[in-house]
């Protein structure tokens, strides 16, 4: 029961979150069921798998990036509040006004000014402004998304940024000669207008080898990797690294050469650099054979946590599921209303059903030409992870979801 947790108090139009009060407004779309999980910080819990993974990543960067005094170059931030301004999450990263990620259906908004960060990139600018040139950020990020074994409205990311001044970049590679990092050139597929070809080649090489070697460190020397061209508003060029896992390519991270404009804006216009952002759950699920993303929330369950109780974070661990209780599978179909969004429904299901909902899948999208109406049918899978969910219990939850959908989304049930 979350009754004693901070709550959304719709009546006086405020949200209390992490000790602060926010006024709600017409864009507020944060769900009260999410609030108790905000700021829990699984990545900082001793013996949590996300913590083991974080420590392995930190160790890797400490070991591979040291200065002349033999000290680590990267500093680590893992406790920055997930409440950020829209400016931090979007504008500071050149995300255009009409970009899909800004839609209310994609992110969680406290109000028109504040939101839950949708990626750890939100903190790049502020950290660069403090004068840092190498840092890692670990944090919980929030997105409105589909529901299945690998999607949950909260997941965790690791961000890395490395900046260089002209001399530094070339001397690091033992390159002498009159090379520059900046020029007044043209933008093309391989570089930004202000960057020289030579500088970008060195950065790209360091970025890609750093991340490939991280994959080898985590998954072993034999893991297959491939680079895919990508697009992000705040890097150019950009790539994604995929690793082969059980015969399938899995996207592990996004990265690229940082756009110069935000750097200049943050007072680092004399430097160039690279950045990356990777998803911790995706990696941890493969690394430890954790089959379902909801398992990461069993941090109060000793059957789960005790399996990750190791001193050395690089100890190989194969997770054994403590128990598996039966699934209960239901269907729900309804006529849609104008402005209906699938994510609103997924959100509502998660809010009403809680973690007992394992999966929601759109199974039929039907248009009735005479009635000129759309209907959707969803399959909802219920499973309690700590006990066997009875048919009666599942019936009640399913009914509550149906009622909430017609009340809150205005859809018309077609039982």
Interface with ligand FA5 (CB under 6 A):
119, 121, 143, 145, 151, 155, 157, 159, 232, 235, 238, 251-256, 275-279, 281-282
Question: Whole-angstrom Cα distance, residue 94 to residue 235?
Answer: 10
Centroid of chain to Cα 36: 18
Centroid of chain to Cα 125: 18
- Please give the size of the binding site for Mg ion, defined by CB under 5 A: 1
Residues 253-272 interacting with Mg ion (rule: CB under 5 A): 254
Identity of the residue, 35 or 252, whose beta carbon is nearer to ligand FA5 in the bound complex:
252
Identity of the residue, 28 or 121, whose beta carbon is nearer to ligand FA5 in the bound complex:
121
Using DSSP, state whether 204 is helix, strand or coil: helix
Choose the contact partner of 347 out of Mg ion, ligand FA5, none; CB within 5 to 8 A by kind: none
**Three-state SS string across 279-318, please?**
EHHHHHHHHHCCCCHHHHHCCCCHHHHHHHCCCCCCCCCC
Q: Which stretch binds Mg ion (CB under 5 A): 34-42, 90-98, 252-260, 396-404?
A: 252-260
Half-sphere exposure of 186 toward its Cβ, with a 13 Å CA cutoff? 2
Cα–Cα distances in Å, from 4 out to 30, 36, 395?
Answer: 18, 9, 27
Q: How far is the CB of 291 from Mg ion (least distance, A)?
A: 22
Identity of the residue, 41 or 254, whose beta carbon is nearer to Mg ion in the bound complex:
254
Question: Whole-angstrom Cα distance, residue 204 to residue 238?
Answer: 10
Choose the contact partner of 121 out of Mg ion, ligand FA5, none; CB within 5 to 8 A by kind: ligand FA5
Q: How far is the CB of 140 from ligand FA5 (least distance, A)?
A: 12
Q: How far is the CB of 113 from Mg ion (least distance, A)?
A: 26
Identity of the residue, 117 or 328, whose beta carbon is nearer to ligand FA5 in the bound complex:
117
Q: Which stretch binds Mg ion (CB under 5 A): 35-43, 101-109, 215-223, 247-255?
A: 247-255
Identity of the residue, 33 or 235, whose beta carbon is nearer to ligand FA5 in the bound complex:
235
Sheet containing 20-23: which strands, arranged edge to edge?
8-9, 14-17, 20-23
Which tokens sit at 54?
């974080």
């Amino acid at each position: 029961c979350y009754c004693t947790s901070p709550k959304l108090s719709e009546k006086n139009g405020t949200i209390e979150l992490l000790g602060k009060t926010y006024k709600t407004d017409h864009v507020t779309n944060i769900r009260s069921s999410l609030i108790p999980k905000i700021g829990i910080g699984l990545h900082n819990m001793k013996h949590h798998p996300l913590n083991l993974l974080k420590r392995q990543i930190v160790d890797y960067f400490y070991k591979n990036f040291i200065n002349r005094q033999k000290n680590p170059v990267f500093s680590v931030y893992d406790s920055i509040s997930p409440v950020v301004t829209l400016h931090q999450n979007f504008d500071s990263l050149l995300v255009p006004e009409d970009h899909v990620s800004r839609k209310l259906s994609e992110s969680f908004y406290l109000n028109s000014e504040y939101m839950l960060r949708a990626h750890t990139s939100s903190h790049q600018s502020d950290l660069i402004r403090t004068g840092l040139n190498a840092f890692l950020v670990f944090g919980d990020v929030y997105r409105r998304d589909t529901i299945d074994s690998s999607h949950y409205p909260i997941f965790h990311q690791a961000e890395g940024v490395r900046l260089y001044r002209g001399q530094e970049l070339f001397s690091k590679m033992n390159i002498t000669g009159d090379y520059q990092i900046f020029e007044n050139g043209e933008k093309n597929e391989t570089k930004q207008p202000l960057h020289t070809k030579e500088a970008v080649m060195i950065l790209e090489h360091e970025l890609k080898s750093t991340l490939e070697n991280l994959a080898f460190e985590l998954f072993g020397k034999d893991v297959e990797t491939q680079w895919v061209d990508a697009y992000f508003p705040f890097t150019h060029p950009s790539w994604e690294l995929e690793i082969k896992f059980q015969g399938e390519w899995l996207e592990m991270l996004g990265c690229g050469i940082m756009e110069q404009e935000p750097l200049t804006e943050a007072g680092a216009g004399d430097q160039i650099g690279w950045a990356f952002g990777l998803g911790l759950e995706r990696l941890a699920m493969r690394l430890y054979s954790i089959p379902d993303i909801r398992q990461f929330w069993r941090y109060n369950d000793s059957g789960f946590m005790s399996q990750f109780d190791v001193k050395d974070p690089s100890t190989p661990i194969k997770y054994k599921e403590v128990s598996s209780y039966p699934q209960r599978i239901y269907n729900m179909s309804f006529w849609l209303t104008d402005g209906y969004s699938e994510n609103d429904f997924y959100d509502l299901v998660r809010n009403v059903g809680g973690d007992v909902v394992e999966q929601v899948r759109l199974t039929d999208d039907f248009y009735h030409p005479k009635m000129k109406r759309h209907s959707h049918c969803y399959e909802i899978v219920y499973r309690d992870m700590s006990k066997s969910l009875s048919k009666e219990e599942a019936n009640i939850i399913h009914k509550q979801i149906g009622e909430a959908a017609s009340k809150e989304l205005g859809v018309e049930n077609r039982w």
